[in-house]
């Protein structure tokens, strides 16, 4: 019985960090970054949803349901702002804005069910690029 106690303490430690406000905000930001149904922007409507010429996709599928990225608040700089705050409160260190993004660390404070949205949003917002399974931050113009 006593051997289990440190494990339980560890779980509480993780839970506490996940309840930090910037971390909670980051997860709700990810949830709200996508709206129901395919993208209805002018370009998508004109092109009847053909995204083959796009550099970043507009319509995505999560759990078998089509969703679209909400452009108004998901520019790369928007994503960076919430990510920076969550990173700082969770890791107690400033996020390095250049070079490789420690995606495992980001996933550590991202709800498991939000992981697909996280990866999609990092790429679609232009904030980060995946090369051979590694994520690299792309410099953001303000
Ligand atoms: Zn669109």
* Centroid of ligand 1 to alpha carbon of 45 (angstroms): 7
Q: What is the pLDDT of residues 51-63, one digit of tens each?
A: 999 988 899 999 8
Q: From the CA atom positions of the chain, what is the Rg in Å?
A: 17
Structure tokens at 52: 């083959």
Q: In whole angstroms, what is the distance from residue 126 CA to residue 69 CA?
A: 13
pTM value is: 0.85
Cα 134 to ligand 1 centre (Å): 27
How far is 10 from 128, CA to CA, in rounded Å? 31
Q: What spacing in Å lies between the alpha carbon of 29 and ligand 1's midpoint?
A: 20
Range 99-102, long-range pairs (CB < 8 A, 24+ positions): 99/136, 99/137, 100/134, 100/135, 100/136, 100/137, 101/128, 101/135, 101/136, 101/137
Query: pLDDT, tens digit, for every residue of 50-107?
Result: 999 998 889 999 989 999 999 999 999 999 999 999 999 999 999 999 999 999 999 9
Ligand 1 centroid distance, CA of 92 (Å): 37
- pLDDT value of residue 55: 86
């Amino acid at each position: 019985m006593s051997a289990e106690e440190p494990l339980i303490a560890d779980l509480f430690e993780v839970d506490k960090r996940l309840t930090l406000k910037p971390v909670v905000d980051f997860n709700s930001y990810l949830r709200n970054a996508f709206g129901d149904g395919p993208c209805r922007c002018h370009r998508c409507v004109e092109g009847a949803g053909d995204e083959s010429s796009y550099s970043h996709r507009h319509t995505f599928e999560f759990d078998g349901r089509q969703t679209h990225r909400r452009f108004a608040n998901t520019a790369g700089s928007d994503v960076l702002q919430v990510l920076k705050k969550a990173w700082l409160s969770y890791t107690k260190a400033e996020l390095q804005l250049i070079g490789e993004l420690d995606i495992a660390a980001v996933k550590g404070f991202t709800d498991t069910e939000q992981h697909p949205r996280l990866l999609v949003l990092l790429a679609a917002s232009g904030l980060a690029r995946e090369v051979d399974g590694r994520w690299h931050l792309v410099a953001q113009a303000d």
